[in-house]
Amino acid sequence: MSVAKQRLITDLQRGGITDERVLAVMASIPREAFVSRTFVERAYDNMALPIGFGQTISQPLVVAAMTQALDIGARMKVLEIGTGSGYQAAILARLARRVFTIERYKMLSRDAERRLLDLRVHNVVFHVGDGTKGWPPQAPYDRIIVTAAAGEMPMALVDQLAVGGIMLVPVGPDPVNQTVERVVRTEHGITREELMPVRFVPLVAGALPTYEA
């Protein structure tokens, strides 16, 4: 393990990451494969980095904390909203049976799929579309993770959770007032718990931009 990667793992432990499975996966995934050449020297800094189209690869501590809070089992089916660079999907894929990931931008989705194939990650299914609608044909999901901030709780995604399932979603009206919420689906409805403040790009509904169709 490189010195930079070891330093990042130490930072994650200091930041409250105690799940050895999550730490091991974070150590095994080469984050430099998911950033542009411009930022490759900063790949193991604990910070978000731009990936184009106004999107970012999330801060490693946020990725690890959300992954830990999902408590993913090896036989679970996971839905990710916001493929981005593919980094979070790669992390999820090492923990779950299958990951379904939705991205609004075709180019980001295509590049993410190529990266995961290069890393021999084959249990991720990619889809280009409106993440606010989820992926109903594959529902229900044991876990759902949203990597963009919703203005309010996205009930279309809640409806795709299996009973006993968990969803993590940043919710907030603006970039400086967002909180990751942990939603648990029960036989009688849902429970909601606030976990941590974050800053994510907004979750955008609607059709794709014409230049990305």
Contact 121, 138 (CB under 8 A): no
pLDDT at 207: 46
Q: What are the extents of the domains in the chain?
A: 61-212
pLDDT at 203: 86
Active site amino acids: 58
pLDDT tens, position by position, 35-67: 988 999 999 999 999 998 888 899 999 999 999
| CATH code assigned to 61-212 | 3.40.50.150
Q: What angle do CA 174, 107, 157 make, to 5 degrees?
A: 50
pLDDT at 52: 87
> Which residues of the chain register pLDDT less than 50?
207, 209-213
pLDDT at 5: 94
CB crowding 67-98: b at 16 or more within 10 Å, else e: bbbbebeeebbbbbbbbbbbbbbbbbbbbbeb
Would you give the distance in Å from CA 209 to the centre of its chain? 22
pLDDT at 23: 98
- Say how many residues make up the chain: 213
For residue 109, which of 132, 92, 125 has the smallest C-alpha distance? Answer: 125
pLDDT at 7: 95
pTM of the model: 0.92
Fill in the amino acid letter for 202: P
